[in-house]
Structure 1
């Protein structure tokens, strides 16, 4: 093994250690209460070294969110290959994500806020690390190809809308809570998106 490969492996191990330690501190002490100095000290690195790997504290959460998205995509692909109906797969992935976010309730708001960060570069980085709309698009693609999804909107736009709805429902639940679990709240939202808000026997609403 040459020296450059060895250095790269050492950097990967150091980053993995910092990530693991940071996530553990976030879960035990809370994201807001945990500082970069806390993470660096517990990881046995300098504060400067921490920022070499993660330019801001929220960037650690992007790695966490990316891991969750990868897991959901793998599950979706496997279930579709097994012949499971796409809508069943969508609900399974939806529920698994809600369960994860409900369990790690303190981590979701700062992670979600990164997608809406006023710094466009940070918002773009977060969007790329958390491609929920891409997972949804993957799941709905067979229905779109079969003509079972409305054709006046692109599949990408429909998937973005569903993903954005999850984000806002989960954020509101994390901030305020309800008598329902996050899974119940997000299922209500998904049902509404898929079935529509109007009663079937009501006349269509005329738009001006």
Structure 2
């Protein structure tokens, strides 16, 4: 192994250690209360080294969100390949994401806010790291190809609207809560959205069901 490959492996291991320590600290003490200095100290690196890998604290959460999106995409692809109906897959992905967000309730708001960051570069980075709309597009593509979705909206537009709705409903639930679980809130929102996105003659006996 040449020296450059060794350095790259060392950098990858250091980044992985910083990430793992940071997420543990966020879960234990809360995102807002955990500082970059706390993460650096617990990772046995300097504060400057932390910022070499993560230019701002929220960037750690983007890695976390990216991992969640990868798991959802893998699950969706596997289900579609074995012939699971797209709407069933969509509801399953929706539920899994809601369960993750409810379990890590303290991590979701700062992660979601990054997508709306007033700094365009940070917002773009967050959007690319959290491609929920791409996962939804993957799931709905067979329905689009079969002509089961509205023709006046593109598949990308429909997927973006569904993803944006998830973001806003989850943010409101995380901040204020309701008498319903996040999964219940999300299913209500998805039912409403799909009844507007799917052609009425494509619905099996009325409102969309998972």
Q: Same fold (TM over 0.5)?
A: yes
Residues 205 and 25 of structure 1: CA distance in aligned 2, closer, same or farther (over 3 Å): closer
Offset of 1:197 from its aligned partner? 11
Give the aligned CA root-mean-square deviation in angstroms: 4.0
Matched-pair contact (CA < 8 Å) for 2:150–2:198: no
Q: What number of residue pairs does the alignment pair up?
A: 205
Specify the alignment match of 1:24 in structure 2.
24
Residues 145 and 196 of structure 1: CA distance in aligned 2, closer, same or farther (over 3 Å): closer
Specify the alignment match of 2:204 in structure 1.
none
Q: Identify unmatched segments of 5+ residues in structure 1.
A: none
Give TM-score scaled by structure 2 length: 0.93
Q: List, as ranges, runs of 4+ consecutive aligned residues in structure 1 with deviation greater than 3 Å.
A: 196-201
Offset of 1:196 from its aligned partner? 3.9
Q: Which sits farther off after the overlay, 192-201 or 88-97?
A: 192-201
Give TM-score scaled by structure 1 length: 0.94
Q: Identify unmatched segments of 5+ residues in structure 2.
A: 202-206
SS state of the match for residue 133, structure 2?
A: helix
2: distance between equivalents of 1:205 and 1:37?
Answer: 49
CA deviation string 1:162-205 (max 9, x = no partner): 0000000000000000011100000000001112499999xx99
1: distance between equivalents of 2:191 and 2:61?
Answer: 29
Offset of 1:89 from its aligned partner? 0.1
CA deviation string 1:5-33 (max 9, x = no partner): 00000000000000000000000000000
Residues 172 and 205 of structure 1: CA distance in aligned 2, closer, same or farther (over 3 Å): closer
Matched-pair contact (CA < 8 Å) for 2:112–2:171: yes
2: distance between equivalents of 1:25 and 1:132?
Answer: 26
SS state of the match for residue 113, structure 2?
A: helix
